[in-house]
């Protein structure tokens, strides 16, 4: 289907598209919002450039697609509205927020629908974000693997992220020591059906997924390790180069992302809001 209110240019074969003709400093009409929503479902992640907007503008854009998700108290900043996440990597920091492939907040019983990230201060080189299509990851599995994964569930936790924030370093994937830091966990199907498109997507990620339900860490790792690698095969991905005023809006229900940590000694400041989702099925 064509678009009449916006221009959409695919960024890669797997997923991702740039959207033109939108000024987020102004309110959008219903027809434009509907076309942006359609582009988001079709391309999984959309990008907008040259958006000189306030945090209130960013929040308004997010609310076009649903209720914003509040942050836990320890992530909120005084004087900011409770749904705003400030990601500020200082020059001395070793670890970047989102350093591993993941979908946001899968440690919650109801993970977010999507995230909207605005570039505020961008290093002169580096700091790109990669995205991976989890519909394609599922579709590329063998019939036997799909049958085995059908009905499987996995536990997701936030322990490794909280540990990294405290110590500026990371535990290995699925390390049981992360349980010492875990404040929230949830169990989700390994294969998720998207509530709007009806498509199936692989729904495990290296940053949050700890083990399969009713299995030990050791028993889970061989298969989880394969799924982690398979989910982000190069042909499933796209790469976005940030500029000041750039926005990325991705669908956490069917894609993963990774923030590259290749700008040592430089600052990178991003502001983000998340949209409430639905319980994975």
Q: Which residues are identified as catalytic?
A: 102, 104, 257, 272
CA 175 to chain centre: 22
Strand partners, 237: 132
Contact 201, 194 (CB under 8 A): yes
Contact 57, 117 (CB under 8 A): no
Nearest-10 Cα torsion for 135, 141, 145, 146: 40
CA distances from 115 to 61, 67, 233 (A): 11, 12, 22
Sign of CA dihedral 267, 72, 278, 192: positive
């Amino acid at each position: 289907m064509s678009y009449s209110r916006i221009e959409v240019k695919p960024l890669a074969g797997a997923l991702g598209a740039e959207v033109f003709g939108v000024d987020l400093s102004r309110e959008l009409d219903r027809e434009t919002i509907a076309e942006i929503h359609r582009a988001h479902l079709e391309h999984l992640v959309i990008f907008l450039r040259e958006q000189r907007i306030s945090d209130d503008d960013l929040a308004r854009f997010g609310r076009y697609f649903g209720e914003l998700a509040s942050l836990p108290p320890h992530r909120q900043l005084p004087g900011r509205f409770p749904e705003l996440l400030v990601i500020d990597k200082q020059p001395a920091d070793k670890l970047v927020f989102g350093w591993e492939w993941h979908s946001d907040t899968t440690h919650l019983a109801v993970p977010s629908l999507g995230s909207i990230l605005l570039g505020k201060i961008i290093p002169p080189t580096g700091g790109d974000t990669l995205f991976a299509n989890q519909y394609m990851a599922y579709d590329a599995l063998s019939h036997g693997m799909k049958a085995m994964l059908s009905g499987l569930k996995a536990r997701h936790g936030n322990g490794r992220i909280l540990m990294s924030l405290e110590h500026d370093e990371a535990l290995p994937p699925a390390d049981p020591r992360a349980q010492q830091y875990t404040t929230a966990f949830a169990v989700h199907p390994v294969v998720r059906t998207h509530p709007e498109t009806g498509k199936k997507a692989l729904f495990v990620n290296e940053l949050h997924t700890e083990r399969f339900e009713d299995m030990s860490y050791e028993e889970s790792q061989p298969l989880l390790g394969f799924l982690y690698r398979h989910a982000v095969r190069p042909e499933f991905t796209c790469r976005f180069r940030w500029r000041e005023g750039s926005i990325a809006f991705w669908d956490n229900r069917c894609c993963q992302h990774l923030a590259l940590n290749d700008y040592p000694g430089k600052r990178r400041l991003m502001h983000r809001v998340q949209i409430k989702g639905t319980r994975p099925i």
